[in-house]
């Protein structure tokens, strides 16, 4: 075990610090040396024994929301035990600490609030953002996840209730990629909300006022980015769940001047591209010959399209030809050049074609190999649409990626049933395996947690000053290559979630290599980069304190 420094903490202060607390696992020697004698029950227990206790208590909780509250409370008491529990039971607990349960937790955030976590920045803090960041107790922050709560999953504007998203994302950074908890900082940029129900709720904890827009909003975000670069110079800033109007604009504004990315645009793109690359091994159709039709032309859909174009360009396809592999249907119909209502980010995927109002019309006319749902609208992959895809393709790829589960464009059972089990299915939230005609199909979960933790790990390990599209393309390729033949036989186009730490280490190594190869860091590349990356990963086992 590694001995670590406690920075003078002892006694009750030590027990109340979740980063250092071991609870009843403090040894007899530690209890004497650290002023803990009498403050704990006399019997010393191991972390394994504690794990039995907390898992038993977890299973006593009857609803997903109760389980979420229990896990958050454990995280606030004992970070090491929390991560040991989650990492040991990742398939069971990821849907609790993140999608889909985190969506419900955000909706009820003000009602289930126990203890503040992270930083809250508001419009009233303009001119003093730097001071607020300096108040954070951890100096070596490496990952910041910030949201303004305008587009939480598929649930819309949840204002300050959206803090559950940065907290959950950072829990996945640690659980999936071993980013030390002390290096993680969740931030809520509370600029108001246009959700009238929240404003009227006396238990809502955010500013009960309309959303800030325009130059004042931009100045606030700019002040934050500048301050973060000064106070935490090695930190990567992840923008999360911003509305479409701001997400693309902020990414374009900061991506070349700060170490930053938008997970909804680039992380979703990476995991979806990985899924499409995996389908090649099932269908035999290379990416350059696939035609992808998207339902939804917001930040997720356009981000996926942009990364597919970059991937095809690296394969030698011209940009114009690469863009014609991607087609979009939005709320007004097929995105075509003749439309006059298109916002800027859709224009680059507007093609010459007759207007069409419905997804079914577009499927029948364009004959895509894959459809990708990022609309946030449930049940929009109707039986007619899915059957049409099955008529066009022997193995149609159906990606119902909208979160949470209730917003999925179709369920796994529907998809497999309507295609006689021939579909390659992926979803954003988890679905159980489906047995049809004696054959069990295991849905792939196109969860961003396969991508963003590894990318963050690579950025931290290399101390990269930027996050590039090449890094996400590289991450997607690594992820697809880690899918085994046994996975594909089950219909699963992503690796088993139990391998997530291995996946993150591989992605982290490849992303770090990109940073070194492109001169995005002043750090020298280690001789054994994989070992260097793995050595940075947090181990939730208790250290020795004396």
Question: Tell me: the pLDDT tens digits for 104-145?
Answer: 999 999 999 999 999 999 999 999 999 999 999 999 999 999
- Do 244 and 122 fall within a single domain? yes
- Considering 41, 66, 91, which residue would you say is the last residue of a domain? 91
CATH number, residue 237: 3.40.50.10380
Question: Which of these is catalytic: 169, 450, 477, 542?
Answer: 169
98 classed as catalytic: yes
- Residue 538 in any domain: the answer is no
As given in the structure block, the two tokens for residue 175 are 């659980």
- Amino acid 4: pLDDT: 66
Q: Is residue 519 part of a domain?
A: no
Shared domain for 349 and 400, answered yes or no, is yes
Cis-peptide, bond into residue 100, ω within 30° of zero? yes
Q: What is the pLDDT of residue 99?
A: 87
For the chain, how many structural domains are there in total? 3
Last-in-domain residue among 258, 279, 314: 258
Any domain includes 47: yes
Question: Which is catalytic among the residues 68, 98, 416, 450?
Answer: 98
Range of the domain at 170: 101-258
Residues 64 and 45 in one domain: yes
Q: What is the pLDDT of residue 429?
A: 86
- Does residue 401 form part of some domain? yes
Three-class SS of 154-200:
CCCCCHHHHHHHHHHHHHHHHHHHCCCHHHEEEEEEECCCCCHHHHH
Tell me the HSE value of 423 on the side-chain side, using a 13 A CA sphere: 35
Walk across the sheet containing 326-330 and list its strands: 333-334, 326-330, 292-295, 370-373, 397-400, 424-427, 444-445
Same domain, 21 and 137: no
In this predicted model, what pLDDT tens digit does every residue of 265-312 receive, in sequence order? Answer: 999 999 999 999 999 999 999 999 999 999 999 999 999 999 999 999
Which residue reads 């499927």 in tokens?
363
**Token couple for 343:** 């916002």
| 234 in catalytic set | no
pTM listed for this prediction: 0.95
Do residues 445 and 494 touch, judged by C-beta distance below 8 A?
yes
Where residue 152 falls among pLDDT bands split at 50, 70, 90? very high
- When mean pLDDT is compared across 8-12, 52-56, 192-196, 473-477, the lowest value belongs to 8-12
Residue-wise pLDDT tens digits, 466-510: 999 999 999 999 999 999 999 999 999 999 999 999 999 999 999
Task: Output the CA–CA distances (angstroms, integers) from residue 92 to 60, 408, 515, 543, in the order listed.
Answer: 14, 20, 34, 26
Per-residue pLDDT tens digits for 217-263: 999 999 999 999 999 999 999 999 999 889 999 999 999 999 999 99
Judged by DSSP in three states, 398 sits in strand
CB 357 within 8 A of CB 333: yes
Residue 118 lies in a domain: yes
To the nearest whole percent, how much of the chain has pLDDT over 70? 99
Mean pLDDT of the chain: 96
For residue 1, pLDDT over 50 is answered with no
CATH of the domain at 82: 1.20.1370.30
In this structure, the answer to whether residues 287 and 410 fall within a common structural domain is: yes
Instruction: Report yes or no on 472 lying in a domain.
Output: no
* Rounded distance between C-alpha atoms, residue 280 and residue 273, angstroms: 11
Same domain, 243 and 310: no
Residue 152 sits in the same domain as residue 280: no
């Amino acid at each position: 075990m590694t001995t670590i420094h406690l920075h003078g903490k002892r006694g009750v202060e030590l027990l109340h610090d979740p980063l250092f607390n071991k609870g009843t696992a403090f040894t007899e020697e530690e209890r004497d040396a650290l002023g803990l004698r009498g403050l704990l029950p006399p019997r010393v227990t191991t972390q394994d024994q504690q794990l039995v206790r907390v898992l038993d208590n977890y299973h006593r909780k009857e609803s997903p929301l109760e389980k979420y509250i229990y896990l958050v409370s454990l995280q606030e008491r004992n970070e090491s035990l929390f991560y040991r529990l989650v990492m040991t039971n990742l398939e069971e607990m990821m849907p609790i600490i993140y999608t889909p349960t985190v969506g419900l937790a955000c909706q009820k955030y003000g009602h289930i609030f126990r203890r503040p976590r992270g930083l809250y920045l508001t419009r009233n803090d303009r001119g003093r953002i730097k001071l607020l960041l300096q108040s954070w107790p951890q100096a070596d922050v490496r990952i910041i996840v910030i949201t303004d709560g305008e587009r939480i999953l598929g649930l819309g504007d949840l204002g300050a209730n959206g803090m559950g998203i940065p907290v959950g994302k950072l829990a996945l950074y640690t659980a999936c990629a071993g980013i030390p908890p002390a290096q993680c900082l969740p931030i809520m940029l509370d600029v108001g909300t246009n959700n009238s129900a929240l404003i009227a709720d006396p238990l809502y904890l955010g500013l009960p006022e309309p959303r800030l827009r325009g130059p004042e909003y931009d100045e606030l975000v700019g002040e934050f980015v500048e301050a973060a670069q000064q106070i935490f110079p090695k930190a990567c800033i992840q923008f999360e769940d911003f509305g479409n109007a701001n997400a693309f604009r902020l990414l374009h504004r900061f991506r070349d001047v700060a170490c930053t990315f938008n997970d909804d645009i680039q992380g979703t793109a990476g995991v979806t591209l990985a899924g499409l690359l995996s389908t090649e091994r099932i269908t035999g159709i290379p990416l350059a010959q696939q035609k992808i039709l998207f339902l939804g032309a917001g930040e997720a859909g356009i981000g996926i399209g942009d990364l597919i174009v970059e991937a095809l360009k690296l394969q030698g396809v011209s940009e114009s030809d690469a863009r014609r592999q991607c087609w979009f249907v939005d709320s007004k119909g097929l995105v075509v050049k003749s439309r006059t209502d298109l916002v800027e980010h859709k224009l680059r995927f507007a093609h010459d074609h007759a207007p069409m109002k419905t997804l079914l019309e577009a499927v029948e006319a364009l004959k895509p190999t894959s459809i990708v749902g990022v609309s946030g609208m449930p049940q929009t992959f109707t039986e007619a649409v899915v059957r049409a895809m099955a008529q066009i393709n022997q193995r149609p790829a159906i990606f119902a990626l909208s979160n949470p589960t209730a917003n999925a464009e179709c369920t796994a059972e529907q998809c497999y049933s309507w295609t006689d089990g021939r579909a390659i299915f992926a979803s954003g939230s988890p679905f159980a395996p489906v047995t049809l005609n004696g054959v069990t199909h295991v849905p792939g979960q196109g969860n961003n947690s396969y991508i963003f933790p590894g990318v963050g790990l690579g950025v931290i390990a290399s101390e990269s000053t930027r996050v590039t599209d090449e890094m996400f393309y590289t991450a997607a390729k690594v992820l697809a290559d880690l899918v085994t033949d046994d996975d594909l036989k089950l219909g699963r186009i992503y690796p088993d979630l139990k391998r997530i730490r291995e996946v993150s280490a591989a992605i982290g190594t490849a992303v770090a290599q990109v940073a070194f190869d492109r001169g995005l860091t002043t750090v020298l590349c280690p001789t054994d980069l994989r070992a260097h990356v793995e050595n940075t990963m947090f181990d939730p086992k208790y250290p020795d304190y004396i």
